[in-house]
Amino acid sequence: MDLVYFLFSQTLLFTIPLLIVALGGMFSERSGVVNIALEGIMIIGAFGGIYFINMSQTHGWMNGLPLFLVALVISAVIGGLFSLLHAYAAINLKSDQTISGTALNMLAPALGLFIAKVTLDGLPNVMFRNTFRIVEVPFLSQIPIIGDLFFKNTYLSTFIGLFILVVSWFFIYKTRTGLRIRACGENPHAADAAGINVPKIRYLGVVLSGVLAGMGGLIYIIPISTEYNCTVAGYGFLALAVLIFGNWKPWRIAGAALFFGVMKTLAYTYGSIPILSSLGLPSVIFKLIPFVATLIILTFTSKDSAAPKAAGIPYDKSTR
């Protein structure tokens, strides 16, 4: 049983950041702006948060959960601000969204490494101590099974991620603004005719994606390392895959993120799982599974993909 709990907590470490970032991508794409810059936003958001944690731990400003929360807010704000660059190019200047997204993906790690090297004595790595693990949540950890699964050896980010999932679902399907976001991604001209301010709604979508991707970056980095050198190992691109895999719908995105998380966990821990290690398969098989499975599933589902129809097309009033 201990093994199950261990695997579960590992899975969550991979799943939650993917989930949050992919949900961010969902807001952007459903409003009609393809956001290939998720990777870059994650990098710069995580950089902001980790940099603050580093400063705070060196100077002893804050510690523990308050520090985590403040860092998370900083990551979110920086991610949101950074995504404004993409929004401006995509919405105001009607430029090719892949181009500005690529530019941001390139800018983020370069800028982060540059700032780190200039301000931290020429070292590219930002060091930090991970003091954010919650060993046990009082009372709740006593619940059988669920207590062990969710409330021991966990991170606050797990609950934040699940909270964001529920809120995102509610927001995009049950609120007026959510409906407007979806309308702008499907048929911006009709939305405009109905009196919706399309650029404003699209700005909202892109900035939401920036906020979530920034948070996702920090949440991804904190449990897995103690130094940050401006890379999130392609997680932003994986989140993009999760988004498409999840067919641009919140719960399916959650399912896709969980699938990736489970596969990734299996790839790195299969040696300690008796059933799997007795199969004697090379570890590369497990590493390949998420990618191959995604391709296979997309092969059979892409014909009726629910991609927002206007995603990637700049809104121009004069066309129809």
Question: According to the binding rule CB under 8 A, does residue 271 interact with another protein?
Answer: no
10 Å CB burial of residue 259 (0-12, 13-18, 19+) is: buried
Picking from 319, 314, 320, 318, the residue whose alpha carbon sits closest to that of residue 93 is 314
How far, in whole angstroms, is CA 55 from its chain's centroid?
24
**Single residue of 144, 282, 318, 319 touching another protein by CB under 8 A:** 282
Question: According to the binding rule CB under 8 A, does residue 102 interact with another protein?
Answer: yes
Q: Which of residues 39-78 bind another protein (CB under 8 A)?
A: none
Give alpha helix (H) positions in the chain.
2-30, 38-59, 64-87, 97-119, 146-150, 156-174, 176-186, 188-193, 198-224, 235-245, 250-269, 274-279, 283-301
Stretch that binds another protein, among 66-74, 91-99, 200-208, 249-257 (CB under 8 A): 91-99
CB of 47 to another protein, least distance (A): 12
Q: How many residues bind another protein (CB under 8 A)?
A: 48
Question: According to the binding rule CB under 8 A, does residue 87 interact with another protein?
Answer: no
Q: Which is nearer to another protein, 117 or 133 (CB)?
A: 117
Token pair 């523990």: residue: 64
What whole-number distance in Å separates Cα of residue 66 and Cα of residue 72? 10
Consecutive H or E run containing 127: strand 126-127
Structure tokens that stand for 108 in this block? 């983020």
Stretch that binds another protein, among 44-52, 103-111, 191-199, 249-257 (CB under 8 A): 103-111
CB of 157 to another protein, least distance (A): 24
Stretch that binds another protein, among 41-49, 189-197, 215-223, 289-297 (CB under 8 A): 289-297
219 C-beta neighbours (distance < 10 Å), count: 29
Q: Which is nearer to another protein, 113 or 201 (CB)?
A: 113
Taking the CA atoms of residue 49, residue 51, residue 56 and residue 59 in that order, the dihedral angle to the nearest 10 degrees is -170
Q: Which of residues 291-310 bind another protein (CB under 8 A)?
A: 291-292, 294-295, 298-300, 302-303, 305, 307
How far, in whole angstroms, is CA 302 from its chain's centroid?
23
* Site pattern 109..138 for another protein (x: CB under 8 A): xxx-xx--xx---x-x--------------
Report the SS3 class of residue 154: strand
**Single residue of 70, 73, 96, 178 touching another protein by CB under 8 A:** 96
* Site pattern 188..227 for another protein (x: CB under 8 A): ----------------------------------------
308 C-beta neighbours (distance < 10 Å), count: 23
Q: Which positions touch another protein (CB under 8 A)? A: 36, 85, 89, 93-96, 98-100, 102-107, 109-111, 113-114, 117-118, 122, 124, 233-234, 237-238, 240-241, 244-245, 282, 284, 287-288, 291-292, 294-295, 298-300, 302-303, 305, 307
